[in-house]
A and B are shown apart, each in its own frame.
Chain A
Amino acid sequence: GNSVTQMEGPVTLSEEAFLTINCTYTATGYPSLFWYVQYPGEGLQLLLKATKADDKGSNKGFEATYRKETTSFHLEKGSVQVSDSAVYFCALSDGTGNQFYFGTGTSLTVIP
């Protein structure tokens, strides 16, 4: 079956620190992978995506590379800002389009 495992939070970092949020997946077939972000009081927003192996998704300084050999899609940012404080969700779509499979979410707090 399909599933996503995401590193436990919460994560607290100082401004300008390096961020890594680990995400691994189990899937049948060839899934597409996504990172969604939920800022306080808002809905989930797509942060980045990758649709095939070795693709790198990037947006707003965040990056994630689709690694088929390790079934991973880790989220990274070189220098976090206070405005990056949010909950981050890793997700996959198995391509049928019926549903996304999400991880448990990782809460990130960035302190000045």
Chain B
Amino acid sequence: EAGVTQFPSHSVIEKGQTVTLRCDPISGHDNLYWYRRVMGKEIKFLLHFVKESKQDESGMPNNRFLAERTGGTYSTLKVQPAELEDSGVYFCASSRAVGTYEQYFGPGTRLTVT
């Protein structure tokens, strides 16, 4: 079974530019999550999709962040325009169900905004 994949692995952009991160969850996993780790701090929740619907987006920092999940498969996270404080590692995770079930994480995308 293929794991969660993320693209790109690393992105360096200038302040004010736009970046789109992509996540492909494990096949058959309806639940998809985005998290972010900034500057060696804790990993923080951004949002949760169930299939193509946003179940919880309480962790999205502001309206410069837009997440979509087309057809309930892969997901994209767009940052527009990027700010310096958006730098960090963005993780995607998926799970078959919620509750005590394990979330399977991708390797992350390291975003550097200069």
Chain A positions within 8 Å of B, measured between CB atoms, are: 4, 32, 34, 36, 41-46, 49, 51, 89, 91, 93, 95-105
Contact = CB atoms under 8 A, between A and B. Distances in A.
Given A103-B42, A104-B41, A95 B102 contact: no
A43 B42 contact: no
A42 B89 CA distance: 12
Contacts, number: 68
Contact of B107 (A34, A36, A41): A41
Nearest to B102: A46
Contacts of B33: 99-100
Interface string B10-42: 000000000000000000000101010100111
A43 B105 contact: yes
A43 B45 contact: no
A93 B99 contact: yes
Contacts of A49: 100, 102
Contacts of B107: 41-43
Interface string B89-114: 00101010111111111111000000
Nearest to A100: B103
Contacts of A100: 33, 35, 43, 45, 93, 103
B64 interface: no
Given A99-B48, A100-B103, A89 B43 contact: yes
Given A41-B107, A44-B105, A45-B105, A99 B45 contact: yes
Interface in B43-102: 43-45, 48, 55-56, 59, 91, 93, 95, 97-102
A70 B109 CA distance: 36
A24 to B, nearest CB: 14
